[in-house]
A and B are shown apart, each in its own frame.
Chain A
Amino acid sequence: MVASPVRRITVRVLTYLGLAIGLVYAAFPVLWMFLSSIKSNTEIFSLPPTVLPREFTLAAYDAIFADPEKVRFFINSYLVASAVTVVTLLVAILSAYSFSRYRFRFKKTLNLFIIATQTVPPITLLIPFFGLVVALHLYNTYFALILTYMVFTLPYAILMMTGYFNTLPRELDEAVKVDGGTSGYVLWKVLVPISVPGIVATGVYTFLLAWNEFLFALTLTKTTDMRTVPIGIQLLMGQHAYEWNQMMAMSMLGSLPILILYLIAQRYFLAGMTAGSVKS
């Protein structure tokens, strides 16, 4: 069946129209955030609204960098997210190695348990976590966040790393084992060095999850100097409800690490995104 030229052109026009509408829908809010962060506060609500700033200003960014309280939010977020990423990767690599290379009792049960963990609501865990963290004298510390974040980063990391190890040929470790290498040797000296792409993908995704967390950070920390970026933004919204340019600048800075990771490691993000729904 040969499509007529008229129909072909119509299909083409409609497709491009759809893509353009999609672009506006997806990107306009983000663009607006950026543009608002470099406008003055009065210009943000001027009528009619300006798209490009009449007068370009970095005052909002200066205000944030000049305030040690706000800079602290970023330091906290970087510290917590980095620590969570390192610990998660270590634990997940061990577990994934076991899932990928061994047959053992309860393997299926444990695997199902890990898949099911993704569905446990954080709000259900919050109240016992609060009790646990207070009892362990970890309330309002980094450790409270690092420990509790593991509950949602670990299942993902294990599924992603198991998937990656499964793509590596078993003959590789069999050969090393025949030469007398222990399983630890196989893991750290053979598998891990060639799994760098998988580890990066898992690490990037873990960092993202930890960076974005809100509920536990809201509840398990208390003083302003222990708050992470998402909570910092909320505090800012309460304190200076009308300083929209500062809030937008803070949001830009808060998205920056993720945005950079996303732009340079796009396919790793996609790997993390589909890890939950695609077969493990």
Chain B
Amino acid sequence: MSARSQTKPVHTMTTLKVREGFAPYLYQAPTAVLMAVLLLFPIITVVRYSLFDNVITNKHPVFVGLANYFNILTNEVFWTSLFNTLFFTVFSVVFHLIIGLGFALLLNSKVVNSIVKGLLRVFYIMPWVFTVTIIAIIWRLLLDPSGVVNYVLEALNVTNTRPEWLSSTELALFALTFVNIWAGYPFYMVSLLAGLQGIPTELYEAAEIDGANEAQKFWSITIPQLSPIILSIAMLDFIWTMQVFPLVWMTTGGGPIHATEVLGTFTYKQAFASYQFSVASACAVIILVISLCMAFFYVKHQKVRD
């Protein structure tokens, strides 16, 4: 297009106007096509799959209405997965926020030299740089019954029973949540640090004149100022954490005996281990609906912020 414009730079006003009228749509065309093929069409397909029986494996699937949904909702493992997912998600989000905010406050502290802060920030973001599979494998080594975590706990006299963190039905879900907290806090830290740096210092100065102490300043200036950011990252994090798959798949595979089964692994197994693509589709639609409900609030919140 640019080559042509160099050789033929003169346009009559009308052709230019018509071309300009189409231009924004032309530029959006590749995106629109890709999003239709990769998003709209698959969503329609998965909803359709969920209403038929034996899709993919059978060439002539039969319409069964909501039977697949009924199948899912009466499956005990589904409810276990839902509970596990919620447990994992709620605790991850809460601790991501606490740890992320803690780090952000430390890195925003005036008493620390800025070079030290810059250097530490590089390290604090580290967990977020690694692929989930690598995070999974690192923690499998650390949390091995004869691994370094148990060694340190023994040395500190916390426990000497050498817990099997990832293969005990009581501990596995806690251990996985712990790992996920480690992997996810940097996202909060970075966003909240940017937020902290954007709070006008006049607010704190005014509060100091009024004799406010640190705690009062924190609760009545810092938190209210950060709350729009907190709300939006917590909502995104909630949506993303609910979709957890690789971390569980790579560490426990959902076991032992469904102790760490989450919606992601449950759906995946229905599809690619039992070849129940219709049931898996119904489950995938349920996950989509939950995500879209959250997304609705997220998008609404983003609009309000604009």
Which residues does A use to contact B, with CB under 8 Å? 1, 8, 11-12, 15-16, 18-19, 22-23, 25-27, 29-30, 32-33, 36, 44-45, 47-49, 90-92, 94-95, 97-98, 102-104, 107, 110, 112-132, 147-148, 150-151, 154, 158, 180-185, 188-189, 211-212, 214-215, 218-219, 229-231, 233-234, 237, 244, 247-248, 251, 254-255, 258-259, 262-263, 266, 269-270, 273-274, 276-280
Contacts and interface: CB of A to CB of B under 8 A. Distances in A.
Nearest to B232: A277
Given A1-B211, A154-B31, A233 B191 contact: no
B34 A91 contact: yes
Contacts of A104: 24-25
B134 interface: yes
B294 A49 contact: no
A127 B281 contact: yes
Interface string B120-161: 101111111111111001111110101110010000000000
Contacts of B287: 121, 123-124
A254 B43 contact: no
Nearest to B127: A26
Main SS of the interface on chain B? Answer: helix
B41 A128 contact: yes
B217 to A, nearest CB: 11
B285 interface: yes
Contacts of B37: 132
Given A119-B295, A124-B46, A128-B41, A98 B151 contact: no
A118 B236 contact: yes
Interface string B2-14: 1011100111000
B200 interface: no
B39 A158 contact: no
Contact of A98 (B19, B27, B125, B249): B27
A251 to B, nearest CB: 4
Contact of B131 (A25, A44, A94, A254): A254
Contacts of B229: 277
Contacts of A212: 131-132
A270 B116 CA distance: 18
A98 to B, nearest CB: 4
Contacts of A214: 131-133, 245-246, 249
Contact of A237 (B126, B127, B137, B246): B137
B56 A181 contact: no
B299 A116 contact: yes
B203 interface: no
Contact of B124 (A22, A107, A124, A180): A22
Contacts of A233: 133-134, 137
A185 B5 contact: yes
Contacts of B292: 116, 119-120
Contacts of B303: 112
A98 B142 contact: no
9 closest A-B pairs (Cβ-Cβ)?
A184-B1, A128-B42, A102-B24, A98-B27, A119-B295, A128-B45, A214-B246, A151-B38, A230-B133
Contacts of B306: 279
23 contacts: A15-B112, A22-B102, A23-B123, A26-B126, A29-B142, A29-B182, A30-B127, A91-B34, A94-B27, A124-B42, A124-B287, A127-B49, A131-B55, A182-B11, A185-B6, A211-B131, A254-B134, A258-B129, A269-B129, A273-B186, A277-B229, A277-B232, A279-B302
A248 B135 CA distance: 11
Nearest to B294: A119
A154 B125 CA distance: 24
B80 interface: no
Contacts of A19: 106, 112, 116, 120
Interface in B150-194: 151, 182, 186-187, 190-191, 194
Interface string B24-36: 1101101110110
Contacts of B38: 125, 129, 147-148, 150-151
B103 interface: yes
Contacts of A269: 125, 129
A123 B284 contact: yes
B272 interface: yes
Contacts of A126: 268, 271, 284
Contact of B133 (A95, A182, A185, A234): A234
Interface string B272-292: 100001001100110110011
B226 interface: no
B225 interface: no
Nearest to A92: B31
Given A47-B151, A229-B131, A251 B103 contact: no
B122 A263 contact: yes
A98 B123 contact: no
B244 to A, nearest CB: 10
B31 A95 contact: yes
A48 B106 CA distance: 34
B236 A131 contact: no
